[in-house]
Amino acid sequence: MKVALCFIINYEHILNKEDIWKEWIEYNKDIINVYFYYKDLQKIKSKWILQHTIPPNYIYETSYYHVIPAYMSIMKFAMIHDINNQWFCLLTDSCCPIISPKRFRYLFYNHYYSSIINWKKPWWNIHFHKRANLALLSEELHLGNDPWFVLKRENVNHCLHFINNQVKLTQTICNGGLANESLFAIILQIYKELTNAICSVSHITDWSRKTSATSPHVFKTANLLDIQFIEKNLNENKFAMFIRKVSLDFPDEVLKNYIYNYSKENDNKLKIQTPIIFIYRRIYNNSKQYTTYAFIIIPFLIYIYHLYLYL
C-alpha cells in the first residue's frame, strides 16, 4: 500500500521547499506517489512538478473560497492512478515535511487504516458567517475541520460518493464558501465515520498569529516564536507530519534539522514492521500472472513471514 501526496498549487505554481520535499520523498519512494493539481500548466517551470501533474481533464475552475473541486479531482485521479494508494495527504505549495522519513513510514504502517483529520464544532457564529452554510444544515452537521489533512482510501470513496449522490447538499455547503473547512467532517459524519478517524492535527499551523482573518501565520525567519511553536507541537502531537505555511525565505537548514536531527534519538528506536496486509497485497500484485497458484502461495508465504517474526 502507498501514500498519495496530493499537492494543490496556485499563483506562482511552485513548491516553496521543493528540494526538501524531493530529498524527503526519496527515502520512502517505494510507498509514495506524488500528484499536483494546478491552475495553469504553462506557469509550471519545475520539471519534477511537471512529471507529477494530473491530466488537464481533471482541472476545474477554483478560487480561494471555492477549492473543493480541486480536492475531489486530485483524490479521484490518485484513486484511479494507483489502486494501492491508501493514504491521501492533502497539501499546498507552502507545506513542508517536519518529521523524519522513518517516522512518517512508522505512522503510515501503524495507522494506514485511519484518517487523520482535526475536527470540532464550528469556531465561528454560523448565523453571522455563511461559511459552508452551516445554518441551513441540521445541528449534527454543524462541524468544522482543519483544511489540510490525511484521508484513508475508504473515506475518499465516501467523499466521491457523496458529491455524486448528494448534489444539492454539496452545492448548499459549497455555496457558503470555505467549504473545505467543514465539508469533510460533514461527509464523515453522514457516513458514520467521523468518530473512527483520528482527531488530531497532521499539518501544524499557527493560527495564533494570523496574517488575515482566514490565513494563518507564515513562517519566514525562524525567530524565537517560530521555534517555540514548532517544538511545542512536535513534542505534544504524535501525528504531526507537515507544517504550513512555510515561506520560500524560511531557512532550509532549520527545517532539515527538525526533519533529520531533532527527534533522531527517538526515531532510531522506532521498530518498522510491515503490516501483513501490505505483504499480501505486494505478493498478490506480483503474482497476478500466476492466478492459479496465487491463493496457495500467498498463505504459505505469510505463514513463513510469521515464523520469521517470532524466531
* 1, three cell numbers: 500500500
Q: In this predicted model, what pLDDT tens digit does every residue of 289-302 receive, in sequence order?
A: 555 555 555 566 55
Model confidence at 287, pLDDT cuts 50, 70, 90, reads low
Cis check for the bond before 245: say yes or no (omega within 30 of 0): yes
Task: Please report the pLDDT score of residue 280 as a whole number.
Answer: 77
Q: Where are the domains of the chain?
A: 2-267, 276-310
Q: Residue 217, class by beta-carbon neighbours within 10 Å (0-12 exposed, 13-18 middle, 19+ buried)?
A: middle
Closest CA relative to residue 230, chosen from 214, 242, 248: 242
**CB-side neighbour CA atoms (13 Å) of 173:** 25
* Single-letter amino acid, residue 136: L
Distance between CA atoms of residues 279 and 196, nearest Å: 25
21-50 pLDDT per residue, tens:
999 999 999 999 999 999 999 999 999 999
Q: What is the pLDDT of residue 188?
A: 99
